[in-house]
C-alpha cells in the first residue's frame, strides 16, 4: 500500500504529498499489531498516570486506539506518523503542522488521532534517560507533561468542546527524545551557543555588566530591531558599529530593559573583560506553559540546571542562561502590572533587542499565527494590552534574555537593573 492509497482510504487524498516522505521505510519497519506500544491500553493508561495525558480523556483515546489496532491499514499509517514525528527527524515541522484530520473515517474522534503516535515519545524519552542515568523525577517532568494538557485544553476551547489536539508543536519533543532538552523544575533547557546580537562585557572593579550590539546590527528610532520585511517607511534606522582595538572596544550599548541606547561607549580593556560572546556555550531556556512562574521557582530551576548540566554534560561548560522569546518583549513591562509574573521574570535578566517580524508570540498568546484585533479574544490583560498596541499601529515583538551564572544568586533582586540609575534608559529621544 502506498501513501496515496492510504490517504484516499482515510478520505483525504489531498494529504498524500504530506505522507509520502519515508513511506517505504515505514512499510518495511512496521511491526506486528501487538508491538504497537502507543496503541496499547496499558501504555496509554501509564502515559495518563505519568501526567502526559488527562486521565478523564483516557476512554475515548483507548477506543480510538482499539479501532486502529484492529485495522492493518490504519496501523501502518499511525506507525508512519510516529516515525515522521520522532525517527525521520528531518521531516519538516511545517508539514506536521499541516496534517489534516481524517473525519470521514473517524468522525469527531479524528481530532484525537495524532495524540496516539505523539504519545509514542514517552517511551522513547524514558528509555533514553535510563540509558544515561537521568533521575526518574527529571524524566517525568521532561515527558510531554503539561504540554498535551494545555494543547488539548486550547483545542477544546477553540472547537466548542470537541476533544482533540493540534500537531503544530509536536515536533518540539524530538529534542526531548534525543536527550537534548530537559525539564528541570519550572523551565526547560538545552545546551546551545549564544546567538550573535550582542557581546557582553563586565567591569572588573565594579562587576557592572554591559551588552554591546554586534557590528552591523540595525535598530530603529525606538531602540528595537526589526526583520528586513517588517521595516516601515515612517521609521528611521541606524547600523551599529562594533570596533575592537588592542586597548578597548567601542560599540552601541543595550540597556538591560531591552532597548538600544543612543550614545556609543568606549570600554578600555584594562577595566572591562568579555564575559559572553556570540558562539559561547550557554543553556538555552524554554518556558513551558502552566502555573507557577514565580521567582523562587525560577531561581530553583536555574540552580538545578547548573548542577544537572555540570553532572550529565560536563564538557559543555556554559556560563550563562540565554533565551529568545515573546516573553522578553521589552514593551511588556509598560503594558502589564508590576505584579505580573512575566514582568517580574524579565526584570531579573539582561534583555536585548532581536530582529522581530511583528507576529512573535501570536500562537502562544492568541492561538493563531496572525492576529485580527476585530475577532481576537480580549479576556486577559496581556491580550487586551497587545491588541491595543496593534490597533495603535504597533506590533508584537520578541526579545533576547541572558543571565550569567554568576548572577543566579542575585536572581530575584534584579541583578542588572540595580547597576543603572533610574531613567538611564530614557535617552531614546536623542538616539537619532
Ligand atoms: C508562561 C505563562 C504561564 C505566564 O502566564 P502568567 O503566569 O499568567 O503570567 P502573568 O502573571 O504575567 O500574566 C499577566 C496577564 O497576562 C495574561 N497572560 C499571560 N500569558 C498569557 C498567554 N500566553 N496568553 C494569554 N494571556 C496571557 C494572564 O492571564 C494575566 O492576565 P489576567 O490578569 O487578565 O488573567 C503563560 O504565558 C503561558 O503558559 N505561556 C505559554 C508558553 C509560552 O508561551 N512559552 C514561551 C514560548 S517562546
Please state which of the ranges 34-43, 207-216, 367-376 shows the lowest mean pLDDT. 367-376
pLDDT in tens, 95-120: 999 999 999 999 999 999 999 999 99
Please state which of the ranges 150-164, 293-307, 414-428 shows the lowest mean pLDDT. 414-428
Instruction: Name the closest-CA residue to atom 44, ligand 1.
Output: 364
Residue 68 banded pLDDT, cuts 50, 70, 90: very high
Q: Is the pLDDT of residue 140 over 50?
A: yes
381-335-408-198 Cα dihedral, nearest 10 degrees: 130
Q: Residue 425's pLDDT is what?
A: 64
Average pLDDT over residues 123-127: 96
Instruction: Say what the pTM is.
Output: 0.92
* Cα–Cα nearest to 84, from 151, 164, 171, 5: 171
Instruction: Name the closest-CA residue to atom 21, ligand 1.
Output: 365
Residue 403 banded pLDDT, cuts 50, 70, 90: very high
Q: Is the pLDDT of residue 426 over 60?
A: no
Would you call 105 helix, strand, or coil by DSSP? helix
Residue 186 CA to ligand 1 centre (angstroms): 14
Q: Is the pLDDT of residue 216 over 90?
A: yes
- Please report, for the chain, the start and end positions of each structural domain, with discontinuous segments joined by +: 3-180, 182-361+396-432
Looking at ligand 1, which atom is closest to the CA of residue 365?
A: 24
Q: Is the pLDDT of residue 2 over 70?
A: yes
Instruction: Name the closest-CA residue to atom 13, ligand 1.
Output: 340
Residue 8 banded pLDDT, cuts 50, 70, 90: very high
Residue 202 CA to ligand 1 centre (angstroms): 33
Q: Residue 232's pLDDT is what?
A: 87
Burial 180-206 (b: 16+ CB within 10 A, else e): ebbbbbbbbbbbbebbebbbbbbeeee
Residue 427 banded pLDDT, cuts 50, 70, 90: low
Q: Is the pLDDT of residue 330 over 80?
A: yes
Q: Residue 168's pLDDT is what?
A: 92
Looking at ligand 1, which atom is closest to the CA of residue 293?
A: 7
Q: Is the pLDDT of residue 1 over 90?
A: no
**Substitution site in 172, 380, 385, 401 for ligand 1 pocket (most atoms within 8 Å of beta carbon):** 380
The radius of gyration computed from the CA coordinates of the chain, to the nearest angstrom, equals: 24
Helix or strand run (H / E) with residue 219: strand 218-220
Residue 290 banded pLDDT, cuts 50, 70, 90: confident
* Cα–Cα nearest to 11, from 102, 115, 108: 102
Average pLDDT over residues 77-93: 98
Residue 428 banded pLDDT, cuts 50, 70, 90: very low
Average pLDDT value for the chain: 94
Burial 250-263 (b: 16+ CB within 10 A, else e): ebbbbbbbbbbbbe
C-alpha cell at 37: 506500544
Average pLDDT over residues 149-176: 92
Share of the chain above pLDDT 70, in %: 98
Would you call 262 helix, strand, or coil by DSSP? coil
Instruction: Name the closest-CA residue to atom 25, ligand 1.
Output: 365
Q: Residue 224's pLDDT is what?
A: 95
Average pLDDT over residues 163-189: 96
Residue indicated by cell numbers 474522534: 109
C-alpha cell at 283: 543553556
Looking at ligand 1, which atom is closest to the CA of residue 379?
A: 34
Q: Residue 424's pLDDT is what?
A: 66
Amino acid at each position: 500500500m502506498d501513501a496515496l492509497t492510504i490517504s484516499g482510504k482515510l478520505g483525504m487524498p489531498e494529504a498524500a504529498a504530506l505522507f509520502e516522505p519515508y513511506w517505504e521505510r515505514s512499510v518495511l519497519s512496521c511491526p506486528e499489531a501487538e508491538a504497537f506500544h502507543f496503541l496499547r491500553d496499558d501504555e496509554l493508561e501509564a502515559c495518563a498516570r505519568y501526567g502526559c495525558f488527562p486521565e478523564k480523556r483516557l476512554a475515548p483515546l483507548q477506543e480510538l486506539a482499539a479501532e486502529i489496532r484492529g485495522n492493518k491499514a490504519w496501523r501502518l499509517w499511525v506507525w508512519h506518523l510516529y516515525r515522521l514525528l520522532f525517527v525521520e527527524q528531518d521531516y519538516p515541522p511545517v508539514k506536521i503542522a499541516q496534517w489534516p484530520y481524517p473525519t470521514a473515517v473517524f468522525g469527531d474522534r479524528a481530532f484525537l488521532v495524532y495524540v496516539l503516535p505523539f504519545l509514542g515519545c514517552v517511551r522513547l524519552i524514558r528509555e533514553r534517560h535510563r540509558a544515561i542515568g537521568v533521575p526518574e523525577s527529571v524524566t517525568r517532568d521532561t515527558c510531554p507533561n503539561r504540554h498535551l494538557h494545555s494543547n488539548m485544553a486550547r483545542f477544546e476551547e477553540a472547537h466548542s468542546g470537541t476533544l482533540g489536539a493540534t500537531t503544530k508543536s509536536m515536533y518540539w519533543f524530538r529534542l526531548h527524545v534525543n536527550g537534548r532538552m530537559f525539564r528541570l523544575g519550572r523551565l526547560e533547557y538545552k545546551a546551545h551557543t549564544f546567538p550573535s546580537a550582542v557581546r557582553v562585557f563586565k567591569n572588573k572593579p565594579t562587576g557592572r555588566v554591559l551588552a554591546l550590539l554586534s557590528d552591523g546590527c540595525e535598530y530603529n528610532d525606538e531602540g528595537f530591531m526589526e526583520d528586513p520585511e517588517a521595516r516601515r517607511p515612517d521609521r528611521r534606522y541606524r547600523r551599529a558599529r562594533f570596533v575592537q582595538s588592542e586597548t578597548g572596544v567601542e560599540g552601541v550599548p543595550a540597556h538591560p530593559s531591552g532597548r538600544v541606547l543612543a550614545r556609543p561607549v568606549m570600554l578600555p580593556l584594562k577595566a572591562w573583560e568579555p564575559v559572553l560572546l556570540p558562539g559561547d556555550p550557554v543553556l538555552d531556556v524554554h518556558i513551558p506553559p502552566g502555573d507557577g512562574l514565580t521567582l523562587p521557582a525560577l531561581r530553583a530551576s536555574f540552580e538545578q540546571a547548573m548542577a544537572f548540566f555540570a553532572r550529565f554534560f560536563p564538557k559543555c561548560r556554559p556560563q550563562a542562561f540565554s533565551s529568545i522569546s515573546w516573553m522578553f518583549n521589552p514593551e511588556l513591562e509598560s503594558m502589564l502590572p508590576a505584579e505580573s509574573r512575566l514582568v517580574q521574570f524579565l526584570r531579573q535578566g539582561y534583555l536585548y533587542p532581536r530582529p522581530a517580524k511583528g507576529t512573535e508570540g501570536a500562537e502562544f498568546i492568541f492561538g493563531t499565527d496572525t492576529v485580527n484585533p476585530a475577532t481576537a479574544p480580549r479576556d486577559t490583560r496581556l491580550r487586551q494590552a497587545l491588541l491595543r498596541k496593534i490597533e495603535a499601529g504597533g506590533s508584537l515583538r520578541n526579545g533576547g534574555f541572558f543571565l550569567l551564572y554568576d548572577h543566579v544568586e542575585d536572581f530575584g533582586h534584579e541583578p542588572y537593573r540595580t547597576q543603572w540609575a533610574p531613567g538611564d534608559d530614557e535617552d531614546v529621544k536623542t538616539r537619532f
